Structure 1
């Protein structure tokens, strides 16, 4: 058990104020902690949510000292230098990771999901009377060869090279959710979680959700248990302290995997308002807050807002109905000194507007700082209009 790693150490209490201080610097949100480029941002956060393509850029821009080149620099890191890679990761969700983490993510979380996804595809095809596993393997190898030749391609372009990708089969025949699935759609998803393909450049602008595919960068095959330890250490360094429940939720692992990884890295137990928590070894010392107060406008699905399962220390429960959709996805949020106090949105004319829901301790200095952040955001967005993929009640109201 991980708690045994801390036997002999007095458990230290880490309160809300210190947790917010850690977040301010480690998540590059306080003014003095802002980053010089998207690689620094992704490295500090471990992963950027990539389900909504715009989130990646908005999350980076909110944390750059100079956000003017957010789009150009993030696109360079993703599609030219390949310093960042968009791929499936924890909880079977699309993230953007630093390239040096792709092998760790694949071994720690991708392998188990990939096995389930391939088995499910083969089962659904067999139930529908579609061709067997040998046929699918042949199509897969042909598609990967075609993709390697093209460099990047859409599913439609790959189907021009390998027509069998256009084959369709009925999923869940006779059920209320019956649907017609195309081999290309399901197969490319499986290849993604298997770490064989990654998302390439979008067909449109940086806000587009229509992506090309590319062959995944080569990476070593790691031992899954060692990879889990490496990923947990990286995340706990960036986001600790955290509870076991936080860790299980963020990784999507079984609790036994979480506990084994905590023990392997020698995580130290601490006491939080929610109960027992953990930090990495060497991170028990006090952390001072930033010298200046800070404000931030973070996008929907931002990795800070979505970083923990237990969020009361930075997001009051009574604010959640306005800020989350029905599936638990957070929308755009306004932050002041480490806590969520409201929401923001972009109107059709490009104006960035916000509303404060929690005004405790929020004075003119906070309102001025929030207005400055809105101006920064409006400045680098230019003519681009951003609508979150997962819309929340307050965001929809503000965006009218």
Structure 2
């Protein structure tokens, strides 16, 4: 199988082709976890996979707890399902603690302080309360705990990784925290082997074809963990070798590439971009991107037929949303039409008319 076919196959499994209107909860659950440190752009990753979704609908679903936001897998926020949050954190939380141990020490947060912080945050959020980080600071201060910005950030992160707190509903534009016990009262708990097997199977099902090193990057698991996971579920996965790399996957490849140009305006931390390390090159077979593919989320990625073709920024006003694009190759008329349709879809997601401005790189 050639590299371009692998890219299309990956796009299909990630929900970027032939998207049905399944809702945010199903999308998040299908992808296991969706990187979401930039909340607004991350919502577009969900909207891009559901033609019926709107920004307002996703805010309502988030407030209701249909999907949650917490630190898991890596030292950054992800959207996760309330059904999955407990076992995901039990499996990957210890690894993330290890990855950020230096920052705990830098802020003077030893085990005793972190444990005390957990207790204070749980008490502050008890009774169904949902508070912003700013509103939590007085509770920490009253307990004699550090209240510097980074210290509070890491105290909250520790409580998240311990499975105690997670996102609450938005308070205006401010994120809040709530108790996992309130937001995900029926979260599944799995024994370590069952959790490892589930994450391994679901990553290669949703993100495959992908390599072991891709999975290591995405999950923060050790290679020993991943080998164990593959031993547990190997009979439900398949592998192939292409250009010297072994790719794991579940299910059959698409029968054929999609007809006509397929254009996506991906936000900079979409799973198609950040879900891989070793095989990320599949989205840039022309080698245009280099480090530019790792720009911040303010610079989205233009995909044409699954390939990196340029960057985009959006400017939102009351009058509409303007997409400014820099492209690395001249778009054909069919590609321009597909781009216009994609921009219009993004505009409908925001409830605004869309305009597109394209300039060569």
Normalising to structure 2: TM-score of the pair?
0.83
Secondary structure in 2 aligned to 1:290?
coil
Q: CA deviation at 1:87?
A: 1.1
1:318 aligns with 2:304: no
Secondary structure in 1 aligned to 2:269?
coil
1:107 aligns with 2:90: yes
Match of 1:157 among 127, 131, 135: 135
Task: Name 1:92's counterpart in structure 2.
Answer: 75
Equivalent-residue separation in structure 2 for 1:252 and 1:323 (angstroms): 21
Equivalent-residue separation in structure 1 for 2:291 and 2:329 (angstroms): 13
Secondary structure in 1 aligned to 2:68?
strand
1:35 aligns with 2:21: yes
Task: Name 2:170's counterpart in structure 1.
Answer: 202
Task: Name 1:213's counterpart in structure 2.
Answer: 177
Match of 1:353 among 324, 329, 340: 324
Equivalent-residue separation in structure 1 for 2:340 and 2:326 (angstroms): 11
Q: CA deviation at 1:234?
A: 0.6
1:253 aligns with 2:221: yes
Of 343-352 and 297-306, deviating more is 343-352
Secondary structure in 1 aligned to 2:216?
helix
Equivalent-residue separation in structure 2 for 1:339 and 1:126 (angstroms): 44
Change (3 A) 1:160 1:274: same
Task: Name 1:140's counterpart in structure 2.
Answer: 118
Task: Name 2:245's counterpart in structure 1.
Answer: 275
Task: Work out whether residues 271 and 277 of structure 1, in 8 Å CA contact, stay in contact via their aligned partners in 2.
Answer: yes
Q: CA deviation at 1:34?
A: 3.7
Task: Work out whether residues 288 and 308 of structure 2, in 8 Å CA contact, stay in contact via their aligned partners in 1.
Answer: no
Equivalent-residue separation in structure 2 for 1:119 and 1:363 (angstroms): 50
Equivalent-residue separation in structure 2 for 1:62 and 1:334 (angstroms): 13
Equivalent-residue separation in structure 2 for 1:122 and 1:322 (angstroms): 33
Task: Work out whether residues 319 and 357 of structure 1, in 8 Å CA contact, stay in contact via their aligned partners in 2.
Answer: no
Change (3 A) 1:331 1:272: farther
1:296 aligns with 2:264: yes
Task: Work out whether residues 165 and 182 of structure 1, in 8 Å CA contact, stay in contact via their aligned partners in 2.
Answer: no
Gaps of 5+ in 2: none
Equivalent-residue separation in structure 2 for 1:104 and 1:259 (angstroms): 19
Q: Which has the higher contact order (CA 8 A, sep 6+)?
A: 1
1:364 aligns with 2:333: yes
Task: Name 2:161's counterpart in structure 1.
Answer: 193
Equivalent-residue separation in structure 1 for 2:109 and 2:267 (angstroms): 42
Equivalent-residue separation in structure 1 for 2:255 and 2:135 (angstroms): 52
Secondary structure in 2 aligned to 1:222?
coil
Q: CA deviation at 1:108?
A: 2.0
Q: CA deviation at 1:112?
A: 3.3
Q: Give the CA RMSD over aligned residues.
A: 3.2
Equivalent-residue separation in structure 1 for 2:127 and 2:214 (angstroms): 42
Equivalent-residue separation in structure 2 for 1:286 and 1:25 (angstroms): 8
Normalising to structure 1: TM-score of the pair?
0.76
Change (3 A) 1:378 1:234: same
Q: Count matched residues.
A: 346
* Cα deviation 1:17-70 (Å, max 9, x = unaligned): 33233234322323x334332223223332221111112211122222224xx2
1:60 aligns with 2:41: no
Gaps of 5+ in 1: 1-13, 170-179, 386-396
Secondary structure in 1 aligned to 2:125?
helix
